[in-house]
Structure 1
């Protein structure tokens, strides 16, 4: 095993990998831009704008399961969001997709 490690360390392939890593680690990927103008030019997604147009989803329970879509494997990892917060009626937002949920007013908790 030690012989194989020594052979690998002496090989041209290993030397090339080290050079590649060194150049990558020294590369400055994005310059800091306080105005975010470069980011606006680079990232064309308007997803955040669209997600805010979706109304808050009202549910009857204290906990909601969010999948980020209608099919279990279509969106994001399933998460459970607690809606029984200290301030009743405060929407809670999914950290993955941005959908917001709120417990319908007047519905009591049903813990089993």
Structure 2
């Protein structure tokens, strides 16, 4: 997955850090669906995701906090969130941040 191309700040980042439970249990299929569905939402700017052993970090970027909050309430996403709490994640944390600076190489 390449580095997301984001606009000049300000914009919002939703940082999802998790440890997975054992087994796939439909996770991979739902992950692909959520990535596709998120990209269709108003204000979506991109996504970056890494996994190192048990810990995964996914950052989704949104035009503003209200667009990020609207994504949280999309019906299919609500189902995925519930399944995550019940089956896929042993632990997780969601952090929402306002990006004020963005710089790098490339």
TM-score (norm 2): 0.23
More strand by share: 2
TM-score (norm 1): 0.22
